Structure 1
Amino acid sequence: MTVIRIPEAFSDFDIFAFGTFLFAEGALGFVLNSIAALSFILVKEQRDPSNFLVFNLNIADLLLNINTLIGAYSSYLRVWPYGIEGCNLHAFQGTVGIYACISLLALVAWDKYHYWCTNQELYWATSGTMVVCVWVTAIFWAALPLPSFGWAEYGFEPMKTCCCLDNTKTEGGFVSYLLAISCVYFLIPLLIMHDSYSSIYAYFKKTHKFKFNTCIPEMVLLLSWGPYAAFCLYACVYDPLEFSPQFRMMLPVWAKTAPIWHAILYSFTNVAYKGGIWKLLTGQKIEKIKTS
C-alpha cells in the first residue's frame, strides 16, 4: 500500500496545529453526538418520529467525526498510511455523512414548521420513509466521484492527511458535479430552512411567544459550511492553487466543526431531546418531553 507523505509546504507547527484541531473537534463532536444518539436508543420517552430525525442527524455527524479523527491520526503519523484506495473510501464515508447531515437539517426545519405553524405532528411512516431516502440519496451522490463512476474525483486535502472532493482538478466532470451538489445539498436545504424558520418566526411574532431563536440554524449552516462551499464554487472558475496550502486546509478543517454545533443546537438545547439526554446521564425520570 502506498504511503503518502505530508508536503514540505507545511511546517512542523502547521502539522501539529492542524492535527490537534482535528483531534479536538473530532473527539468533542464524537462524545456529544454519541451521548445524544444513545439517549434516543436507551430512553423510551425519547423515541418519537420527530426525535428520530435528530437521532439520524447524530449518526450522520458521527460519520464525519470518525472521518475527522482519522485525519488527526494521519497528521500525527505525518503520513497517509492507507494509500489511494483508502483515500477514496475515507472521502466517500465523510461525504455520505455531510450530505445526509445537511439533508436532515432541512427535514428538521420542515418538521418544526409543521409542528408550530400547521399543528401537524410527524408520523413514524413519514419520518422513516424520509430518513431512508436521505441515506440512499446521500450514498448515491457520494459514490459518483469514486473511480467506478468517475463523475468528478476524490483526492487529498492540501496536507494529505484527509480526503475529500478534489477541487484542484477542475477538468472533466468536477464543475458539473459541484454545481449539481451545490444545488441539491446546499441551496435547496438552505431555502427549505429559510422558508420554514421564517414562517415560524412570523408565528412567534404573531403570538408574542418566542420559543427559540429561528436565525441560529441557518447561521450555523452558513458559518460552518459556507466558506468551504464558496471556495469550491470559486474553484469552478479560477485556479484554487493561487491560495496557500495552509489557507486551503483551514476551510475543510473549520467546516468539520459543524457536528459540534449540531449536537449543541439540535440535541443538548432542544427541549424535545435534552430531557432524554438528562435521564441517560443522571437516571432521573422524565415527567414529559415536549416537542419543539
Structure 2
Amino acid sequence: MDIYASALSPGMDIGTGCFLLVVAVLSIVGNLLVLVMAYKRSAKMKPPELLSVNLAVTDLGAAVTMYPLAMASAWSHHWLGGHATCVYYALAGFFFGVASIMNLVILAIVRFIVSHNMQSPKETISWRTVKLLCVWIWIYALLWALLPILGWGRYGPEPFGLSCSLAWGAMREEGFSFVISMFVFNLLLPSIIIVCCYFGISIKLYITYKKSGISCNRMPNVIRLHRRLLIIAILISVGFIGCWTPYGMVSLWSIFRGIDNMPPEVSLLPCMFAKSSTVYNPLIYYIFSRSFKAEVHQLRCSWPLQKVCHMTHSMEDNTIYVLENNGKSQPTFQEPTETRLANTS
C-alpha cells in the first residue's frame, strides 16, 4: 500500500487544492501587507510591535514554505517527493505552529504588562527585551520541531495522504510521552496563560473605568483604546486556538483509538481548518484597526491606476488621553496610529 497516495476522491483532491490556493493567496497578501505597513512606519515603531511583526512572519513562512507543495500534491492525487518532502513539510508545519502559539502567549503577557501602565506614556517593554523574546520564540519552536528527527516522536503522512505532520497513529506506544508533552506545553498551558492574561486585562479595564466615575459616552480615550486593542488581541488568539483545537482533538483520538476506523474526510477537515489560521490575523487587523485599514487604503490609493483618494482622520484616531487623578481626561501625548499593531502586544 502506497502511504503517500491520496485516500480521497479525485474531486475532493481538486477541491482541497483550490482551497489551499485561496488560503495561500490570502495569507501571503494579508501578512505581506502587515509587514509592509510595519516597514513604512519602522522609524516610529514601538518595541512591542516587533511581536506583531514576528507573528506575521510565522504565518507568512507557513504559507510560503508549505502550501505550494500541498497544492501540487492535491492536484496530482499523490504526495510529491516521498519521505524527504514529507519530513520537510511536517517539520515546517510543526515549527511555524509552535512559533505562532508561543508568539501569542508572549503577546498576551506583554499586553497584560502594558495594560497595568495604560495611564502613563512611559515605555514598560524595552527593545532588548522584545528582541530576546522573539529569539526565544524561534529557538523554542525549532527545538520542538527537531525532536521527532532526533528520535522523540515521528513525522509521517496524514491519513488522507495529501499532507504530512506528526505521525499520530505510529506514536501510540513509542511516542506517547512526546504527544502528551507536546499538547501540555504547546496547547494546554499556552491557552491557559492567554485566557488568564486577557481576563486580567478585562478586569483591569473594568476597574479603571469604574474609578473614572464618568458615563460610558465620556469614557476616556485611553480606555477605549485598550478595550479595542483587547478585542483585537482576543480575536487573534481565539482564531488561532479555535482553528487548531479540532485538529488537536482528532489527533488525540487517533492516539487513543487509532486511525483505522476514521474516514479520510474526518481527518482532512480539521487539517484544512488549521491551515486557514494564517489568514485571520490580517483580516482582524483590517476590520478592527482603524489605522491599519487607513494605511491599507492609503497604499491602494498610491497605485498608479488610482486617481482619487480621500482620507479622513479624527482626533480620537490620533490622540491618546490619560485619566488624571482629578478625574479629568487631558491630552498627554500624541500617537499617530490609535490602534497600531504594536499595541495588540
- Name the TM tier (shorter chain): 0.7 to 0.9
Which one has the largest radius of gyration?
2
3-state SS of 1:242 partner: coil
Q: Structure 2 matches for 1:269-288, cutoff 5 A? A: 269-270=288-289, 277=296, 280-282=299-301, 288=336
Tell me the equivalent position of 1:137.
140
Tell me the equivalent position of 1:178.
179
Please state how far the C-alpha of 1:182 moved relative to its aligned partner.
1.0
Identical positions, percent: 21
- Over residues 72-124 of structure 1, what are the superposed CA-to-partner deviations in whole Å (9 max), with x where a residue is unaligned? 12111222221211111111112111110111111111121111224463211
RMSD: 2.6
Q: For residues 187 and 5 of structure 1, what CA distance do their matches in structure 2 show? A: 31
Please state how far the C-alpha of 1:281 moved relative to its aligned partner.
4.4
Tell me the equivalent position of 1:87.
86
- Over residues 124-149 of structure 1, what are the superposed CA-to-partner deviations in whole Å (9 max), with x where a residue is unaligned? 11100000000011011001112xx1
Q: For residues 293 and 109 of structure 2, what CA distance do their matches in structure 1 show? A: 20
**Correspondence for 2:264 among 245, 261, 273:** 245
3-state SS of 2:156 partner: strand
**Correspondence for 1:224 among 229, 238, 243:** 243
Tell me the equivalent position of 1:72.
71
3-state SS of 1:255 partner: helix
In structure 1, list runs of 5 or more residues that go unmatched.
none
Please state how far the C-alpha of 1:12 moved relative to its aligned partner.
1.5
Range with bigger deviation, 210-219 or 67-76: 210-219
Q: CA contact under 8 A between 2:158 and 2:167: conserved in structure 1?
A: yes
Give the partner amino acid of 1:202. Answer: I
C-alpha spacing 1:277/1:19, structure 2 compared with 1 (3 Å): same
C-alpha spacing 1:4/1:180, structure 2 compared with 1 (3 Å): closer
3-state SS of 2:196 partner: helix
Please state how far the C-alpha of 1:187 moved relative to its aligned partner.
1.4
Q: For residues 198 and 75 of structure 1, what CA distance do their matches in structure 2 show? A: 42
- Over residues 54-84 of structure 1, what are the superposed CA-to-partner deviations in whole Å (9 max), with x where a residue is unaligned? 1110111112212123211211122222121
Q: CA contact under 8 A between 2:102 and 2:190: conserved in structure 1?
A: yes
Q: For residues 289 and 121 of structure 1, what CA distance do their matches in structure 2 show? A: 19
With the length of structure 1 as denominator, give the TM-score of the two structures.
Answer: 0.88
Please state how far the C-alpha of 1:272 moved relative to its aligned partner.
7.0
C-alpha spacing 1:218/1:38, structure 2 compared with 1 (3 Å): closer
With the length of structure 2 as denominator, give the TM-score of the two structures.
Answer: 0.75
The count of aligned residue pairs is 287
